[in-house]
Amino acid sequence: MDRKKELKLRYKEMPIEAGVYQIKNNINKKILIGSTKNLKILNGVKLTLETGVSTNRELQEEWIKYGQNAFTIEVIEILEKKADPYFNEKEALLMLEGKWLEQLQPYEDRGYNRKKVR
């Protein structure tokens, strides 16, 4: 099997994990906290920034200004799924993201997130 096919097969066999990720500007230390039901999509998040179509205007502008190498994208916590039949993955993921938003406060001059109005 050639290398490309092997990598595709490995990618498809990777378990789908939900979790919270961080995009960090290593120059000004601003961060974006996000969550997803499929952490495999982080390549897609990076691609939207590389192609200039990110919906987060401030992050997009700084990505263009400082360049891709000024940023780090990393998973900060994987959601631990429960065997409980009443386990709500979407709700648990929102709570996990909320925990990180509360802890890191990535708003205004500290980050790219916007506070949600309740």
Q: What pLDDT score does 116 carry?
A: 78
Q: What pLDDT score does 11 carry?
A: 66
Predicted structure pTM score: 0.85
Whole-angstrom distance, CA of residue 67 vs CA of residue 48? 14
**Where does the pLDDT of residue 15 fall: very low under 50, low under 70, confident under 90, or very high at 90 and above?**
confident
Q: What pLDDT score does 118 carry?
A: 63
Which CATH superfamily, name and number, covers 14-110?
GIY-YIG endonuclease (3.40.1440.10)
Q: In the structure encoding, which two tokens stand for residue 91, read together? A: 């709700």
Q: What pLDDT score does 82 carry?
A: 86
Q: Does residue 2 carry a pLDDT above 70?
A: yes
Q: Does residue 117 carry a pLDDT above 90?
A: no
| Span 22-74, pLDDT tens digits | 999 999 999 999 999 999 999 999 999 999 999 999 999 999 999 999 999 99
